A and B are shown apart, each in its own frame.
Chain A
């Protein structure tokens, strides 16, 4: 056993230094050089100030903005320093109550819209920071946003399309709309 101690300690220390310091620092250096924007968090700047990240969603409740996925982070929604899902099981009465509340809020903001609400608009995302919604969820909100902004629906629709990404390589993931990018584009239009 004693004869194993020196190699155990030395191999452990050497491999730790290589994999725990040299490797992550080398990746930091290379990623920072080749993909500087991504490595720093895909931040969006407006007038030189960071207003968010293209990859991290923000909470929206203004009827003139598109709303994103419900978020289960605490204490505030979309807390990007404490990601979390709701972890509610399919039979949990709290899930049913939460969904009822979300449906009520969406309907109250757009009483004339009787269409069934797409599931992603009333279910909390896994991270609580989901930057996207489905195109169906965006289209469901189109009338409300256009009305609240006094814009023609076609113009808003064009912005939705411009902020929609298809399946990557045609078969990976889902078609999705970036909510923050879309709302920034809306705000950039003159009201």
Chain B
């Protein structure tokens, strides 16, 4: 790793950790209902919606409210895509999206995955981007936040029957946390050059005439193919460049802040209009980690013991540093196959060096690798470089980040509730070691809680491994592979891993905009999201009902280095037991072939 890479990582973590405390305290303050200046606007909304804000819900009702709210989101995003041609704000006259793609995208944005089977600038009009996708960027993030707040309430309360009011929590998280921060970030990004307009695409005259091979079209505008199905091409030339436009900055801000990750454009944050400068890149990385880190502090505050939150944050940070360091080192090594052709990949003051296929010159290998580690540790899934072109081990780390269950910072809310489930598993395992009934924060952990954590932890590996097996064994699944050999298997494993863990990044060579993948991945996203949320809320309800026990001589303290180690150990153990065989077939084989030759 270069000095520049170390400096970048250090500066990034310093800002995240410094910002975590004030923001975390604010979130606790907000979600405990103490932000009085927000009340008038809130009350108008509650009156219109028929919500009684003081009426709290039991876990089941809370879960039903969340499910219903999200199901409405799917319907809305689906309908907007199907009807976009007859709706306003569509200057390019984009036609209706196909049913399978629209379904996939609707589930994808509602579940905070933001997997993209489509190319944004060639598929979606501005209304879908704003009223469909931007809305879900907010609401799916708010959903994650309120679920973890309900779980934390379960831990903080005792002998209680309720975990909060879902409508009040969703409203507060959206209006007073996500909205103001997004507004601020959007303006900063616009200042750096992220576009924000509703104009039609802009045509400019290029300096040179470009000659290229274009597909030949028949009278109906469909590409002509030969008898084998290959598209016929012919020489073409142009001196016009069409620049895609749109309201990008507003979507970009919440895309990062809500760990959503769905780009306005196909190339996501590699596109210069989404992420024009190294500073916009730094702001985007910060926005990804800001709320997941802050929520740890909110957790500590709400359970009345700040150290509990810092312990969780420490476990996340330690795992992140290892992951980030690894990706940066692997990507800075470059590609030995290109070195053999005499290409200069050595980093220095005049060039970034390293493995640059799929990376942008302004970010180089270090800033791209750090972004990859951040976006996969948190369940964001935005990319500023194409992960498919990473070195085998540089691509393995993002895969593992997701496979550990998106708990290294993780998604907004989802990362912390995932980590708290692992914390409960960790105290359970340590309880078994010393033969005592495990307890966490004064709550006895019993059979019901363990069943719920087991479901929450195992549902995603099940979806990933089963889904990968189905895709690899079916004709339609293998048809999508872009790269030959072990890398092709990695593409499928990455797609299922990303979908079930609600990340949304991709080894994007995989042709996933087919009915097979659109449906398979949509199912993985939906159950990977709500198959975890429902047991977590069930656990919240059960914990809230329990009495609080005073800590005794046999209680395992859950704030010291010992517990941090146990927590990391539990996360790694579960992740590795689930995924090592699959990883060995993909990136590990590829690494050996690349460096040892075959």
Binding site for B on A (CB under 8 A): 1, 4-12, 14-16, 18-21, 23-24, 26-28, 30-32, 34-35, 38-43, 49-62, 65, 69, 75-93, 95-96, 99-100, 103, 116-120, 122-137, 139, 167-169, 171-176, 180, 183-184, 187
7 closest A-B pairs by beta carbon, nearest first, are A173-B278, A126-B270, A87-B509, A10-B49, A83-B267, A172-B278, A134-B351
Give the CA-CA distance A139 to B451 in the complex, in Å.
63
With CB as the reference atom, state the residue of chain A lying closest to B195.
A41
Interface residues contributed by chain B, number (CB under 8 Å):
138
Give the CA-CA distance A28 to B485 in the complex, in Å.
46
Identify which of residues 87-137 in chain B touch chain A, using a CB-to-CB cut-off of 8 Å: 119, 121-122, 130-132, 134-135, 137
- A125-B361 CB under 8 A given contacts A7-B51, A90-B337, A134-B351: yes
Identify which of residues 443-498 in chain B touch chain A, using a CB-to-CB cut-off of 8 Å: 482-485, 487, 490
Q: Which of B132, B135, B201, B245 has the most CB of A within 10 A?
A: B135
Contact A49 B509 (CB under 8 A): no
B271 at the A/B interface (Cβ < 8 Å)? yes
Q: Looking at the complex, which of B66-74, B545-553, B575-583 is the stretch in contact with chain A? A: B66-74
With CB as the reference atom, state the residue of chain A lying closest to B57.
A4
Question: Could you name 22 residue pairs across A and B whose Cβ atoms are closer than 8 Å?
Answer: A6-B50, A19-B254, A20-B134, A30-B187, A34-B190, A38-B193, A38-B195, A51-B204, A52-B207, A57-B272, A58-B206, A75-B213, A77-B212, A83-B119, A83-B271, A85-B385, A103-B342, A126-B358, A126-B360, A135-B350, A136-B350, A174-B351
A residues near B244, Cβ cutoff 8 Å:
80-81, 83
B residues near A92, Cβ cutoff 8 Å:
483-484, 487
What mask results when residues 183 to 215 of chain B are scored 1 for a CB within 8 Å of chain A, else 0? 100110011111111110111111110101111
Contact A39 B190 (CB under 8 A): yes
- Interface residue from B190, B204, B205, B386 paired with A38 (Cβ < 8 Å): B190
B222 at the A/B interface (Cβ < 8 Å)? no
Minimal beta-carbon separation of B539 from chain A (angstroms): 21
Contact A14 B48 (CB under 8 A): yes
Give the CA-CA distance A11 to B73 in the complex, in Å.
11
Contact B341 A96 (CB under 8 A): yes
Count contacts between A and B, CB distance < 8 Å.
Answer: 404
Contact B130 A174 (CB under 8 A): no
- Interface residue from A60, A78, A91 paired with B241 (Cβ < 8 Å): A78
Minimal beta-carbon separation of A3 from chain B (angstroms): 9
Contact B76 A172 (CB under 8 A): no
Q: Looking at the complex, which of B167-175, B407-415, B521-529, B530-538 is the stretch in contact with chain A? A: B167-175
Contact A86 B362 (CB under 8 A): no
A residues near B241, Cβ cutoff 8 Å:
52, 56, 58, 78-80
- Interface residue from A11, A69, A89 paired with B483 (Cβ < 8 Å): A89
Identify which of residues 125-152 in chain B touch chain A, using a CB-to-CB cut-off of 8 Å: 130-132, 134-135, 137-139
Give the CA-CA distance A118 to B384 in the complex, in Å.
21
Give the CA-CA distance A178 to B247 in the complex, in Å.
25
A residues near B134, Cβ cutoff 8 Å:
19-20, 23-24
Binding site for A on B (CB under 8 A): 4, 7-8, 11, 45, 48-51, 61, 64-65, 68-69, 72-73, 76, 119, 121-122, 130-132, 134-135, 137-139, 167, 170-171, 174-175, 178-179, 182-183, 186-187, 190-199, 201-208, 210, 212-215, 233, 236, 238, 241-245, 247, 249-251, 254, 265-267, 270-273, 276-279, 281-282, 334-335, 337-338, 341-345, 348-364, 366-368, 383-386, 388-392, 482-485, 487, 490, 507-509, 590, 593-594
- A125-B358 CB under 8 A given contacts A27-B190, A89-B483, A172-B367: yes
With CB as the reference atom, state the residue of chain A lying closest to B352.
A174
Contact B337 A59 (CB under 8 A): no
Contact B186 A31 (CB under 8 A): yes
Contact B509 A42 (CB under 8 A): no
Contact A174 B357 (CB under 8 A): no
